[in-house]
Chains A and B, each alone.
Chain A
Amino acid sequence: MLPTHLQRFALVLSFFCCSAANAQDGKQGAGALEQGELLFGAMCAACHVHDRMHVGPSLVEIAGLYGDKRKDFLAWCKDPQPKRKGVIQMPSMAALTDAHLMSIHGYIVASTKGMKEVVVKDADKFRASPSMRKRPLVMRLFMPDAGPAAIAVAVNNDYHFCFDAGACRLRYVWKGDFVDGWPVWKSNGNGLAKVVGEVLLREAKSPLPVAENAKRKFLGYRLKDGLPTFRYRVGEVEVQERITMSSDGQALARHFVLRGAPADWRMMFVASDKLDYFSEHGLFEGAMFTPNKGKEAAFTVIMEEKN
């Protein structure tokens, strides 16, 4: 929290009261403290607040570390290092003069006198909110083991998958409690969401028989019953891909609609040690899937957990 007007007022008054004494030792007169406050507001206040960890540590903590170590304070401000895990490195303040930095130091020490650190609980207070617990749910955020344009989808309470809108393909499927997005939210995107549960299958590449370097274009998605139908182009082929629960509710069903695909396309659906593929719409020979006649442009494969 920034100091309120009244706190500031009290602070400024206290500077006046003690300025005569300070002026005698020639260190921090009211002018320097006032300058320190102004400079702090201009250069530091975006990341540091008085009594708690913000982007960087609190002024209370800084005063504790550097209150009587002015040289160390100067050195740190001019050449900050990566120090705390998960905390952004401070930019160098070398553009400020030593006198400016010392006035900021003076302000930090004076304005935190008698103040105590407030410990901020590292918890996601929106974790259980309706918009996070909605099922099904499509949520775009930074995901592990995927490109930066990832999309997490909760199919229901148990089954979830990650689609990559950059690579235009499924990345993995998991079972559990969807994602913990707090590492993303709390760090403004500097962390990745956590997959909560057990990954059932990872797909190393698109199941479609297209060259690795074929041009891909993500076109977006349409929601039906809360679940997305992804639309993308790979080369000249326009693809719709949708994952739902199977009609009996016991497995996942992966639906494809292809426009402009050659009739002899065969897909590669590689099972894992936890998920098997089968389909009534074509023939599996190992991982190789050949759609039945009439099903080439629209088919469904079932992804079922192995017992």
Chain B
Amino acid sequence: MHVFAVFFAMLGAFRGDVWTDAFSIETIEIPAGIDPQIGGIAALPSGKLAVCFHRGEVLLYDPATGVWTPFAEGLHEPLGMLAESDSSLLVMQRCELTRLRDTDGDGRADAYDTVYDGFGMTGNYHEFAFGPARDRDGNLYVALNTASNGAGIREEIRGEWSDIGVPRDKMDVAKEWGKVRGAAGRMYARAKWRGWVIKLSPDGEQVTPFACGFRSPDGIGFDADGRLLVTDNQGDWLGTSKVHHVREGGFYGHVASLIWREGWTRNPLQMPVAELDALRTPAAAWLPQGELASSPTQPIAVPEGVFGVFAGQTLLGEMNQKTLVRFLPDPVGDVSQGAAIPFLQTQLLGAGNHRMTFTADGSLWIGKTHLSWAGAEGLVRVRLRAKPAELFAVDQVRVTSRGFTLRFTQPVDMQTLKGLKVRAHGYKYFKAYGSPKVDDRDVPVASANLDDAGTTLTVQLGELREGNVYTFSLAGMASRTAKQLLGDKVYYTLQKKRQ
């Protein structure tokens, strides 16, 4: 970092920044006595919010009055919620998907009905359960975390056990666990459907194991075009955190869950990596660890009419870094890929950004958590304060055969283009925990030209390398009306070039 950069960073800390100029970020007080780690948040038709907390309470918040009222309690680490009506919520607990209903109209849930609990639990602490996401036809999707070899399993488990791997009696925390942990895999999936996304029919009766290869998929949601997006967290088999466009039958890279494929008999940890690599669908976006995101969470589509030029785009939450991530897809053929860009990257937002929902008044509500990792607590409300027409941002990134086009929402001031820099890197696919950047290098810019309107920048780079992240540094770039760019780094994950 240069001394000047430090100086400007300091100025930024005192002056506010492009994000707080464009958006207001307000902290909502949580009632005393509630552990304010938020596992789920849902907007109700009435305009109220339903929020579920670390210790199992569900409270309703009325933004009009600022009043919180209890709705339910005693849920087991709820980590996702959807509203069906003002009186019916779907909540994903560690142990089951549950429908909470107020059937007698007293404002509190009295029916806690199990919708789906057909997945295994070993009692391992890392077996979280996430979701549900709902598609246009009303089908529900939940995502199941693998277990961590930070601990073994409990004596009593729920559901089916797979014998592929270390013998079960040795994996009991109370027995020989210490001796076998290395062979168990950093994250393991010996109880059924761990590491899978499961699809449920609207009534919950039909269960479809939908896709596998997930490690810690703490984010599952649909974009505005109906793509199912799932985020996953850096670790073994994940060089960095990432987001996937998930399709039925896919395998998304973390190997432990393969053992639950129909007819599967081999221990993935003993298979050649090249063979596993050939099975997997690569990420739609890698999120460089520590730079952009370290622990991504829920994907959410920005509704029409909200947040100006960002309407219809996808945001991802992020636990560790003080930012959200905006994802701009650029599919080539049937390969999903695209650009990830910081969003609301400001001190005022803080870390721990876990669950999000929009309300009809155009507010984005963000529930925070840490779950004993890095993060934060509480609820924030984000509202657009700038005029929608003034927002200056990249709103489309497309790969070409030898470069990229970046489209801006406002004409770009040509003079501010000078700082454009491009780097590229890849990641290793292996069982280690995280990967360093591979072939991290400057990419010379052959040419960078704006079109006549000044809104589309065509960047020629030369030969492109598939399987790399191309990082565009756009620091200092401004519009012709001297607006600073909202999100000045663009991380494009290139899986397939456009011919």
Contact = CB atoms under 8 A, between A and B. Distances in A.
| A, B: real partners | yes
Interface of A: 2, 5-6, 9, 12-13, 16, 34, 38-39, 41-43, 45-47, 49, 54-55, 82, 88-89, 91-97, 100, 126, 129-132, 134, 137-142, 146-149, 151, 165-166, 181, 185-190, 218-224, 228
Contact of B125 (A188, A221, A223): A188
Interface string B148-182: 11110010111100000000000000000010010
Contact of A42 (B9, B126, B289): B289
* Residue in A38, A42, A130, A186 with the greatest tally of chain B CB atoms within 10 Å: A42
A189 to B, nearest CB: 4
6 contacts: A9-B6, A138-B112, A139-B56, A185-B54, A219-B114, A220-B98
Q: Which has the most chain A C-beta neighbours within 10 Å: B34, B95, B122?
A: B95
Given A5-B13, A130-B33, A220 B112 contact: yes
Interface in B343-377: 347, 351, 371-374
B326 to A, nearest CB: 20
B94 interface: yes
B247 interface: no
B57 A222 contact: no
A288 B323 CA distance: 63
A162 B207 CA distance: 29
A190 B98 contact: no
A42 B150 contact: no
B193 to A, nearest CB: 14
Given A130-B33, A218-B117, A188 B436 contact: no
For the complex of A and B, 5 pairs with smallest distance between CB atoms: A42-B290, A129-B33, A140-B76, A88-B150, A166-B158
Interface residues of B, number: 73
B113 interface: yes
Given A82-B178, A185-B54, 6 more contacts: A12-B1, A38-B291, A95-B435, A138-B112, A140-B56, A140-B75
- Interface centre among B73, B289, B347, by most A CB within 10 Å? B73
B114 A46 contact: no
B157 to A, nearest CB: 7
Majority secondary structure of chain B interface residues (helix, strand, loop or mixed): loop
Interface string B229-244: 0000001100000000
Contacts of A100: 436
B370 to A, nearest CB: 9
Nearest to B12: A5
B77 A189 contact: yes
B9 A218 contact: no
A12 B4 CA distance: 12
A223 B112 contact: yes
A85 to B, nearest CB: 12
Nearest to B233: A46
A97 B436 contact: yes
A96 B374 contact: no
A2 B117 contact: no
B87 to A, nearest CB: 14
B227 interface: no
B120 to A, nearest CB: 9
B178 A218 contact: no
B298 interface: no
A171 B156 CA distance: 13
Nearest to B373: A46
A148 B436 contact: no
B113 A46 contact: no
Contacts of B428: 95
Contact of B433 (A2, A95, A188): A95
Interface in B277-303: 288-291, 294-295
Interface string B55-75: 111000000000000100111
A224 B157 CA distance: 30
B294 A46 contact: yes
A16 B5 CA distance: 13
A91 B186 contact: yes
Contact of A147 (B150, B158, B430, B436): B158
A161 B435 CA distance: 47
Contacts of B73: 131, 134, 137-139
Contacts of B154: 148
Contact of B320 (A5, A9, A45, A165): A45
A186 B125 CA distance: 11
Contacts of A218: 96, 114, 117
Interface in B117-131: 117, 121-123, 125-127
Nearest to A154: B74
A306 to B, nearest CB: 29
Contacts of B157: 147-148
Contacts of A132: 33, 55
B10 interface: yes
Contacts of A142: 123
Given A149-B158, A219-B113, A45 B34 contact: no
B125 A46 contact: no
B28 interface: no
B111 A222 contact: yes
A181 B55 contact: yes
B116 to A, nearest CB: 11
Contacts of A12: 1, 6
B3 interface: yes
Contacts of A147: 121, 123, 156-158
B434 interface: yes
A2 B151 CA distance: 27
Contacts of A93: 433-434
A89 B181 CA distance: 11
Contacts of B56: 139-141
Contact of B291 (A42, A46, A89, A228): A42
Contacts of A139: 56, 73-74
Contacts of B94: 140, 148, 189
